[in-house]
Amino acid sequence: MAVVVVESPAKAKTINKYLGSDYTVLASYGHVRDLPPKDGSVEPDAGFDMKWEVAADSRKHVRAIAEALKSDDTLILATDPDREGEAISWHLKEALASSLKKGKTVRRVTFNAITKSAVTEAMSHPRDVDMELVEAYLARRALDYLVGFNLSPVLWRKLPGAKSAGRVQSVCLRLIVERELEIEAFKAREYWTVSATLATPRGQEYQARLTVLGGKKLDRYDLANETAAELAVQAVRSRDLTVKSVEAKPAARNPYPPFMTSTLQQEASRKLGMGAKACMSAAQRLYEAGHITYMRTDGIDMAPEAVMAARDAIKTRFGAEYVPDSPRMYKNKAKNAQEAHECIRPTDMMLSPDKLKAEGEQKKLYDLVWKRTIASQMAAARLERTTVDVGSADGEVELRATGQVVLFDGFLKVYDEGRDDDGDEDGARLPQIMRGETADKRAIAPEQHFTQPPPRYTEATLVKRMEELGIGRPSTYASIVTTIQDRDYVRKDKGRLVPEDKGRLVTAFLTNYFRRYVEYDFTADLENELDEISAGDRDYKEVLARFWRDFTAAIAETADLRISEVLEKIDEFLAPHLYPPRADGSDPRICPTCGEGRLNLKTARSGGAFIGCSNYPNCRYTRPLSAPNGEEAVTPDGKPLGEDAGGNPITVRAGRFGPYVQRGEATEDQPKPDRASLPKGWAADSLTLERALMLLDLPRPIGPHPDDGALVEAGIGRYGPYVKHNSTYANLPEVEEVFTIGMNRAVEVLAQKAARGGRGTGAAVAPLRELGAHPDGGPVQVMAGRYGPYVKWEKVNATLPKELTPEAVTLEEALALIAEKAAKGGKGKSGRATARTTKAKAKPKTARTAKSKKAKDS
């Protein structure tokens, strides 16, 4: 028999069904070795020697594989078919070196899909571990380690409150910060357009836009103000209009290529609202279940047999007219042949989404993959685009109407790609319009517009931009975007990525003192060098040596920097955005409160940054980095919002624990006036009086409960928004719901809390999700806890880290968390064993020893 090792138990279970009893299939549970998180794990002076150690959670998995090899002579490494998968195989081979003596055989197999045919085909074509791919991994891992363990301490010392700085994450953060600076520096420009509702002699209406005025074609800014727009309206109204031309042109739209990693993440974000991490987690589970091909790929080509299967599925489901005459072949330039994979596609084209036995995000993502794949092999859509020009006899004014008709939907019957903007299409369908006929003017209206700043990045547009710049690779996009959010450098607001103050400071620091290492071209060139290593065209230690020589010199230049120098430099760097010109022409750095002190950049112990007055503590003026420079900034003494019905002033203030609203002022009779903290996501500088009063009036009574007549209330507490009935509290998902929730919804939320077995309900706690069986027996469940969700197996409870949601966590991730908790002394089998051992070794406490201890303590 042979021992086959894959990464996850789910993958092992699927493969075991195909291979049968002649093979022992085990899981490594991801990487089994890594660099210890301490200085010295990579030694540049010793030829970049790397010191690896088997992770505590992985030791039992390595022991299980070693035990199986005692009776089996062959180890087959069947980890993922990419650079990271090759590295896991290499690590396993190294970690099992002592068990692979005496003629044991080690072979490497890869497959792009977990199907019986793909797995058995791979088993018949084994190879050795590809050391060129491994060396590319070693170079990347060493680079990330050297940057992290040498640049991060510089940040900690020179920029209080800053966290670590990753090699690629810092470049990604720069993209987000620079986009925000563009938005802040943007000056809107006014322009107007004139639209008309016209009608044919038969009474059918259509829309047209003014394109010619005074015999000249209108440019975007020609109608610069309302006066110019009104003159244009009068010019149209005063003239009779006739149809000058009607032009209909046939057009075709071809389908989009099938998914690769980056385009899958972009579409999952646009259409499903899924972040990159959630998308890849769902894709991983679909792959391990054998439903889709490997999900980390730069390739868009499809295997010939898959193309033919797709064509058969299209003919069966939609008819022969939807099958193009010849198969569609998609090709892109792979980074190198060893890492080229197929596109992401279903393994069975006849398995439509409605037949898939999966739920939630997996089902939604499979639906997206299936539709994109099927559409990629369908016939083109045939359209007719019509342009109608309507004008006056003297040629002074002319209007244009556009529209399109879909003659044959083709691939659009199944799928159309989402958009990141709201750009205009060719317009709606037009009625029948004849050349030379009159156009009756039903309505003519001017419309004001303002140019818009560039939009903030979403995860989809950020991944797209990183791909365009050559930053990162398919396997890294999700972790890059997740990491900068976990470090509180960036937050997500309504799906858009917004830099926090920490992120701005880190970017300003790195741009000033380590500019080369956050340049887009430099990072992309380094990625290309890693690809050249994996292709065997470059020596990885040579790449490391050249990088290390220049990087250490840059680190050395910052050794004597003082924190005050750093803040001054960053203040100067950000000055155009921190201190924009004032409308009255006065010095933008003069404090608007005291009129004497100068504004400058300051940092808090928490790592946040703010603008403060140099006359502190006599003047306590402060404002956040992103607030406008002016009198209305939020200060500890308060920014007035208005008055309540009783005439009490309502202010928003900057406090020790963040912004808050206050009713009235502190007096001897009322030393503690009404106050309420602003919920997360509420901006102090844009808060209105109405919103402030809503906060101050919490908790909000909803009404008497239909069962017992007791009051049901909604409020915001220590653990977020909630509804309350008697002593039962039930959390609400959104703060806004506190102000809108009605009795029906409140009763439903309270009932759900009771069904889950919340505190005081007396009901058994029901799991949020069942993940599957533990290898040692017993179910692994996701539970809702007082302090957040956690995974449970027997008596071991492991809290979910904030980057893992109850909906996205996999069995593999849960098992790793449970193993880690058990290793730290958590309850359960291992915990009970530890407890028994400790108890057996402990000496009984006698009266004498107790007396001696008491004397010693005194």
> Which residues are known catalytic residues?
294
Closest listed residue to residue 514, CA positions, set 558, 567, 481: 558
Residue 50 bridge partners (DSSP): 42
Q: Are 23 and 42 in contact (CB under 8 A)?
A: no
User: What are the C-alpha distances in Å from 290 to residues 197, 314, 326?
Assistant: 55, 22, 29
The DSSP code for 701 is: E
Q: Please measure the distance between the N-terminal and C-terminal CA atoms of the chain and give it in whole angstroms.
A: 67
Residue holding tokens 């009198």? Answer: 631
In whole angstroms, give the CA distance from residue 367 to residue 373: 10
DSSP E strand boundaries for 228-277: 241-253
Name the helix (H) or strand (E) containing 464: helix 459-469
- Residue 735 tokens read as 């703060």
At 677 the three-state DSSP class reads strand
Query: φ, ψ for residue 490 (rounded to 5)?
Result: -140, 145
At 76 the three-state DSSP class reads strand
Residue 834 bridge partners (DSSP): none
In whole angstroms, give the CA distance from residue 375 to residue 393: 48
Other C-beta atoms closer than 10 Å to the C-beta of 20 total 8
Q: Are 136 and 534 in contact (CB under 8 A)?
A: yes
In whole angstroms, give the CA distance from residue 43 to residue 541: 12
User: What are the C-alpha distances in Å from 198 to residues 208, 379, 474?
Assistant: 7, 36, 51
In whole angstroms, give the CA distance from residue 175 to residue 462: 8
Residue holding tokens 């029948």? Answer: 432
Q: Are 322 and 410 in contact (CB under 8 A)?
A: yes
- Residue 831 tokens read as 């915990």
User: What are the C-alpha distances in Å from 359 to residues 265, 286, 327, 582, 767?
Assistant: 19, 11, 32, 56, 16
In whole angstroms, give the CA distance from residue 293 to residue 308: 16
- Residue 858 tokens read as 């005194």
What's the half-sphere exposure (Cβ side, CA atoms, 13 Å) at 204? Answer: 8
DSSP one-letter string for 605-667: TTS-EEEEETTTTT---EEETTS-SSTT---TT-EEEEE-TTS-EEEEEEETTEEEEEES---
Q: Which residue type does 218 have?
A: L
Q: Are 640 and 649 in contact (CB under 8 A)?
A: yes
The DSSP code for 177 is: H
At 572 the three-state DSSP class reads helix
User: Alpha-carbon torsion 782, 785, 787, 788, what sign?
Assistant: positive
Q: Which residue type does 732 have?
A: L
What's the half-sphere exposure (Cβ side, CA atoms, 13 Å) at 365? Answer: 34
DSSP one-letter string for 380-401: PEEEEEEEEEEE-TTSSEEEEE
Pairing of β 788-793 and β 779-785: antiparallel
